[in-house]
Structure formats: structure tokens, C-alpha cells
């Protein structure tokens, strides 16, 4: 009986250790292009180019089974991710970009083994990458940067960041920061 209990405990502890080491995969993008014809509109829809970019994001993430999609409360963020949420049959979850560290902490505690998309804004994405423990892969995002997609692969306390582009080119030219050696 004692042997059985020891084996049971070893298996249970091994499973907990494996679950603690599961990878979280996170794609982080800026919302697609917004309408700019009314400067007084603080919550504009996507422009025609933005609608195309949202479709491009849908195509880019084809084959990825997303578990959750987080957007800010703005229409442009929600509309960027709507097609993906519809395809996956999941609801968009709203996050406050002022609380990025809290979002990262919550996801790292509860989303092990999951695939997540986060849609944000040019002035918050790089800080969000850092909140997950990643290194800024580029120096800055400007108002002209719409086509970046950052992929974070987080396992334990290690966050690897890669950079890609999707859709029509629409970004400032800058070097991607070299990955620090581990």
C-alpha cells in the first residue's frame, strides 16, 4: 500500500510540474487602420484599408486555434479581431491597456497551454510585451505602424519574442532588436 501511495504522489507531482511548464503562445497586434475623416471622433470605425487588414489578420492566423482574444474597448480594436472571434466561436474579452501588468500576470497564471490574441494600440504594445517578460523587439511603434505582429512564446519565466508583418506594408523602417543571448 505504501508503494502505491508513493507512486501516486510521484505521478501527481509530475503532472503538476508538467502543467506548470506548459507554453503560452500570444500574438500581439495593433488595431487595423482607423477612419480619420472626423478628427473629433474618439472611437472611429475601421477604414477600408483597416477592414482589409482585419481580413489579412484572419488569414495570417489561419490554422491557429485561438482560446481567447483580448481587445481594448475601442471599436477599432474589436473590429480588428471580430472575424477571428467569429471563426473560433468565442467572445471578445475587453482589457484596460492601463493595467497591462495585471493582464499579463492573470494570463500567465491561468492560460498555460493556451493560444491568445491581444489587440491594442501603438502606444501600449511594446509595454505589453515587456509585461510578459519579453524584450522590446523594436525601438518604438509610431502612428504609421499597422502591420507588425509580435509573437510571444512564454514558458515558465522565459519569454521569446518574434516579429513579423501581415497584410500590406504599413510601417516605419527600423531594425528589429537582436535577441539577447540566454
Q: How crowded is residue 141: how many other Cβ atoms within 10 Å of its Cβ?
A: 22
Residue 96 lies in a domain: yes
Q: What mean pLDDT do residues 83-107 have?
A: 96
Q: What is the pLDDT of residue 3?
A: 57
CATH number where 113 lies: 3.40.50.1240
Q: What is the pLDDT of residue 177?
A: 60
Residue 136 lies in a domain: yes
Residue reference for cell 505504501? 2
For 124-182, write each residue's pLDDT tens digit.
999 999 999 999 999 999 988 999 999 999 998 899 999 999 999 976 666 566 555 44
Range of the domain at 87: 23-165
Residue 9 lies in a domain: no
Residue 149 lies in a domain: yes
Residue 1 lies in a domain: no
Helix, strand, coil percent content, the chain, rounded in steps of 5: 35, 20, 40
Number of domains in the chain: 1
In the chain, the percentage of residues whose pLDDT exceeds 70 is 82
pTM, two decimals, is 0.85
Amino acid at each position: 500500500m505504501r508503494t502505491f501511495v508513493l507512486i501516486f504522489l510521484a505521478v501527481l507531482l509530475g503532472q503538476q510540474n508538467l502543467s506548470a511548464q506548459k507554453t503560452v503562445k500570444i500574438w500581439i497586434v495593433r488595431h487595423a487602420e482607423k477612419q480619420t475623416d472626423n478628427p473629433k471622433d474618439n472611437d472611429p470605425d475601421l477604414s477600408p484599408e483597416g477592414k482589409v487588414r482585419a481580413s489579412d489578420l484572419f488569414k495570417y492566423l489561419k490554422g491557429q486555434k485561438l482560446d481567447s482574444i483580448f481587445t481594448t474597448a475601442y471599436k477599432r480594436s474589436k473590429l480588428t479581431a471580430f472575424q477571428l472571434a467569429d471563426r473560433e466561436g468565442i467572445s471578445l474579452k475587453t482589457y484596460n491597456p492601463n493595467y497591462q501588468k495585471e493582464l499579463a500576470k492573470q494570463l500567465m497564471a491561468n492560460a498555460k497551454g493556451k493560444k491568445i490574441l491581444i489587440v491594442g494600440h501603438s502606444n501600449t504594445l511594446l509595454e505589453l510585451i515587456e509585461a510578459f517578460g519579453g524584450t522590446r523587439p523594436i525601438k518604438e511603434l509610431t502612428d504609421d505602424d499597422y502591420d507588425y505582429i509580435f509573437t510571444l512564446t512564454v514558458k515558465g519565466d522565459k519569454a521569446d519574442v518574434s516579429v513579423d508583418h501581415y497584410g500590406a506594408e504599413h510601417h516605419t523602417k527600423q531594425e528589429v532588436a537582436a535577441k539577447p543571448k540566454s
